[in-house]
Amino acid sequence: MNIRVICEDFFKYLVPGILTTALEIEALIFLLARMHTRGFWYIFAVGVTFIIGTTLQYLFVHLFIFRDSDREFKEGYVYFMLVAIIGLALTLILVILFTYVTHVPPIRARVITACIVGIWNFIGNYFLSFEMHKKREETLQKSANVQQ
């Protein structure tokens, strides 16, 4: 496994990740501004905006970053959503912990959580959703054979 190649893919993955997370957080701010209730309603808003952001991210990542994946679009989306559901659980747990334990405001808690969960999402999607580790190994093997 070539760490340099994985790092390059990670930095490519960051662009749509940052864009979709920014859109997601804007949508969260919009929803929270319209929810005039207290309690766990912000958790519902976090969940809804997370699903929207994740779906947009899959489209961007599939079409522009990992387009050479051998996974079919629908099959990859199922795996992507599986990784996302785990990411959503992590997101909700971390937002609740940051908000109630450390008293961080929900938006700030969501931004911090996005950084942590984003790493999980990359790892899960790289190895499971798109199986890019296999594709990159094949490419490296072909390059090594050509050079010999």
- Which amino acid does the sequence have at 43? I
pTM equals 0.74
pLDDT in tens, 63-92: 888 877 888 888 888 888 899 889 889 988
DSSP 108-130: HHHHHHHHHHHHHHHHHIIIIIS
User: What pLDDT was estimated at residue 98?
Assistant: 93
Q: How confident is the model at residue 6 (pLDDT cuts 50, 70, 90)?
A: confident
pLDDT in tens, 104-122: 988 899 889 989 998 998 9
Residue for token digits 């199986």?
Answer: 131
Mean pLDDT of 93-114: 91
Domain range list for the chain: 3-147
